[in-house]
A and B are shown apart, each in its own frame.
Chain A
Amino acid sequence: MSLDDLQYQENDVGKMKGFIARLFLNPNFQNLPLPEVEGLLINFLKQNEQQLIATLTSDEFYPGLQWRDVQILFFTVLKEITLEKMMPQMKKLISEKIELSFLTRLDKKSPVNISSISGKILAFLEKIVANREVRINFDVTFKLLENDYIDKYVESLFKRREYLFNELTRVDSLHHLDAIALANYVKTALVLRNVVYMKLPVSQNVKGVGTVSNLNLFDVWDRPALKQTFLDKLHGVLFDEFPEIPEEFLKAAIDSNRDCNEETSMLSGCSRFLAIISKRGKDYKPWIKVDRGAEQPDKSWFTIARKNYLHHGLDKKMLEEFFKISADGNW
C-alpha cells in the first residue's frame, strides 16, 4: 500500500512524515541500522498501543482519525521513509563492500557480466525489501557488511586451515577462491539469504480443501512437506532471477536459514557458516563499549552458542572454531 492509495489529509501525511523523520533522529537509534530502527518503532507502537491510542487520536495530534487509520498512516509512512533512506545506503554498502568478481571464478553455465549481475541483484533487493519482514531482517546484513565482520573471520580461517577452511573450500569445492574472493562469496550470499522472508504463493491442504496462501519459510517451519514445497519454489524463483549465478551458490544462501542439525548432509559449508554469522549478527553491537572484566562479545557469544548449538540449529564444530578464532583475535 502506498500513500497515494490512502485517503488522508495532506496535513496528516506531512505531520506524520515530520514525526517519523524526527523519530529516526533519536540519539538511541544513532548506531542502529535502518531496518532495526523500523522494527523497533513498529514493536514500540504495538507494545504501547494502549497508552498511545488516546494521545495520538487527540486534537493535539491526529484529530478526526481513528486509531486504525493512525496505525496505517504510521506504518505506511515509516515504510516509505525507511525505504527512502535504506536503498541508497544498501547500494553504497554493496558497491563498497562486495566485489562480485568471484562469480567469474565459479563453475557456471553461461558467461558472467559483473556489472549486469550487480544491477540485477540491486533491482531484486529493491523489489524484495518492499516486504517488511524481508526489510527488517536486513539489519544483520547492514551491521556485518559495514564492520567487515565476515572478512576478518574468513581471513582467520584461511590462516588456520582447519575445519572451517576444509568445509568452505574443499567440501564446497571453492578451493580456487582466495580469502578475499571467499569473503565476497559469503557476503553476497548474506545479502541474498533474506529472500526466505519473502512471501510466496504456496498450495496447501487445509482440512481437506486445497488452498493457496502467501507464506514465507518461517510460516512453514514446522511443516516439513510444506517447507520443502516452499523451498523448491523459492529455489525456482531465485534460479530464474539469476540464471548466470551457479545454483549451488543460490542454494547456499537460502539453506543458511535451515536447521543444520536436521539436515547436515544437505547443507553446504557456506550455508552453515552463514547461519552462524547471521545469528551472531543479530546480537552484534560494535558500538557498545565492553565492560571491564567482561569477555569480548564474540568470544562470549560463541561460548554460549556452542553449548546451545542444537537449540539454534548451528554446526557445533564450526562454532568451536569460531570460538577459537574470536579468542585468538580478542574479538
Chain B
Amino acid sequence: MQKKSGFWETFILIAIFLVIIQTFIEDFAVIQDWSVRLRQLLILTGLFFDFLFTVEYFFRQTRAIKRKNGWNYFTRERGWIDFFASVPLLLLNSGPMAFLLLTGEGIISLEVAGVLNILKVIKSVRVTRVLRFIRMIKLFGKIYNPDSKMAQRHIARITSMSVVVIVLVLIGTSFIKVSQKHYMESIKRDYGALVKTANENSKTDAIKFNSQLKILLKTRSDFISAKLLDNVKISQFTKKEIEKSYSKDDLFVINFDNNKIKITISKKAVNISESQHSLVALIIIIVLVITLLIFYTKHFAQTVSDVIHIMRRGMSEADYSLKVKINEHYPDDEIYKLAELYNDQWLVLKDLHRPLGEKAPGETEAFSLDDFLSANQGDGEESKS
C-alpha cells in the first residue's frame, strides 16, 4: 500500500515538473510561431494535466472527507491550492480551448471573442500551477531540514501568499490592458474604413469595388483572405499554408454589407503579445517560488527550525549536549536569546544532573528488547542448518 502511494506521489511530482514545462512551452510556441499541429498538441497535453490534477484533487478531497478531515485538508493542508491549480483550469481554460479545437467549426467571430476574452483572463490563473511546487517543499526539505513541519508550513504559507497575490494582480490588471475583444473591434474599424474607401471610389461598381478593396487589403499585414462581392475570393496564402500556420485561435472573421463581404484576419500579433505577458508572469512566479523554496527555506531552517531542533534534542535526549551556534548577525533575535539560555543554563544544569561522560540511567543507545530477542532467535535456524 505504502509502495503504491509512494509511486503515486513520485508520479504526481514528475507531473508537476512537466506541467510547468508544458505551461512555459505553450506560450513559447505562440511567440515562436510554431506550427499549428504542435500548438494543438500542447493544448491537449495541458488538458491532460489539468484532468490528471483534477482527478488527484477529488481523490485527495474525498479521502480527506472519508477521514472526516475534509475542511482541514482544504484549508490547512493546501487542498485549496490543489483545487485552484486544477478544477478552474480544466473547466475554464484547457477544457474550452480543447473543445474549441476539437469541435469548433470555422473561424472565431467577433461575437465569440467576448467569451474568448474571459478564457484569456482565466489563462492568467494557469500560473497557479506553479503553486504545486509547494508540494515539493519536502524535496527541498531533504536538503535543509527533513523533520521541520513548521518550516514546511511557513514556507508554504509565504509562497502561496506571494503567488496568489501575483495571480490576483494579473487577473485584475488583465482588464486594464487591451483585450482581445477591444483589439478585434479596433481592427474591425480599420477594415471598415477600407471597405468604406473602396465603396466611395467604386461608386457601386462591384468589379471596381473588389479591385479597389483588394489593393487596400494587401496593404495590411494581418490580412489573410476575403470573400468579396459576387463571391470573388482572394487570399494571401494557399489553403494548405493557412492550415499549417494558423489555428482557429489565430484568425477571426469580420462581416460587412450583411455578410456579403467576409474578411479573415490574423490576430497572431495580439496572441503573441498575450503569450509574452503570460510567459513573463510565469517566469516571475517560478523564479519567486524557487527562490523562496531554496533560499528562504534555508534561511528559515538555519535561523529558526534548526535552532529549535537542537534545543529539542538537548532537552529530550539524555546524551545530547551540543550547544546552539548563535548566529552572529542576529544575536538579538528572540530565538537566539532563548538559545543562549539553553546553552548557558540548561546544558550546564543538565550536565550537573547527568555528569559528563556518564550514561544516563536506562540509556542503551537505540538497542531494543526486540533487537535483543531476535539475536537469540537466530539460534534455531543455525542449529537446524
Q: Which residues of A contact B (CB under 8 A)?
A: 15, 18-20, 22-23, 25-26, 28-29, 32, 40, 43-44, 47-48, 51-52, 55-56, 60-61, 278-283, 290-295, 297, 299-301, 303-305, 307-308, 311-312
Contact = CB atoms under 8 A, between A and B. Distances in A.
Contact of B357 (A19, A279, A292): A279
B378 interface: yes
B347 A304 contact: yes
A26 B367 contact: yes
Contacts of B369: 48, 51-52
B313 A291 contact: yes
B340 to A, nearest CB: 12
Contacts of B358: 282
A19 B379 contact: yes
Given A44-B367, A283-B319, A295-B325, A305 B306 contact: no
B365 A40 contact: yes
Contacts of B378: 18-19, 22
B375 interface: yes
A56 B348 contact: no
Given A15-B383, A279-B356, A293 B375 contact: no
Nearest to A17: B379
A51 B309 CA distance: 33
B323 A312 contact: no
Contacts of B343: 303
B376 interface: yes
A47 B356 contact: no
B210 to A, nearest CB: 78
Given A25-B375, A300-B347, A304-B356, 18 more contacts: A19-B375, A19-B379, A22-B378, A23-B371, A23-B375, A28-B371, A56-B376, A279-B357, A291-B309, A291-B322, A294-B310, A295-B323, A295-B324, A301-B321, A304-B321, A305-B351, A307-B348, A308-B351
A294 B343 CA distance: 10
B321 A48 contact: no
A25 B372 CA distance: 11
A297 B307 CA distance: 16
B201 interface: no
11 contacts: A19-B379, A20-B375, A28-B367, A48-B369, A48-B372, A55-B373, A291-B306, A292-B145, A303-B323, A304-B348, A308-B356
A305 B321 CA distance: 11
B382 interface: yes
Nearest to A26: B371
Contacts, number: 116
A223 B343 CA distance: 35
Interface residues of B, number: 41
B204 interface: no
Contacts of B357: 278-283
B352 interface: yes
Given A18-B379, A23-B372, A28-B366, A311 B321 contact: no
A301 B367 CA distance: 25
Interface in B301-320: 301-302, 306-307, 309-310, 313, 319
B6 interface: no
Q: Residue among A47, A292, A311 with the most chain B CB within 10 A?
A: A292
Contact of A290 (B301, B322, B356): B322
B78 to A, nearest CB: 26
B331 interface: no
B362 interface: yes
A293 B356 contact: no
B379 A301 contact: no
Given A55-B373, A311-B355, A295 B322 contact: yes
Contacts of A295: 322-325
Nearest to B348: A307
Nearest to A283: B357
Contacts of A44: 364, 367, 372
Contact of B352 (A19, A290, A308): A308
A22 B372 contact: no
B28 to A, nearest CB: 39
A40 B372 CA distance: 12
Given A40-B365, A308-B351, A283 B322 contact: no
Contact of A43 (B322, B325, B364): B364
B371 to A, nearest CB: 6
Contact of B309 (A25, A293, A299): A293
Interface string B244-256: 0000000000000
Interface string B322-350: 11110000000000000000011001100
Contact of B356 (A26, A32, A301): A301
Contact of A297 (B302, B322, B373, B382): B322
Contact of A312 (B310, B355, B367, B376): B355
A226 to B, nearest CB: 23
A311 B352 contact: yes
B306 A26 contact: no
Contacts of B344: 307
B350 to A, nearest CB: 8
B156 to A, nearest CB: 21
Interface in B70-127: none
Given A28-B366, A293-B306, A312 B356 contact: yes
Nearest to B308: A293
A16 to B, nearest CB: 9
A147 to B, nearest CB: 16
Interface string B21-46: 00000000000000000000000000
B197 to A, nearest CB: 75
Contacts of B373: 55
A22 B372 CA distance: 9
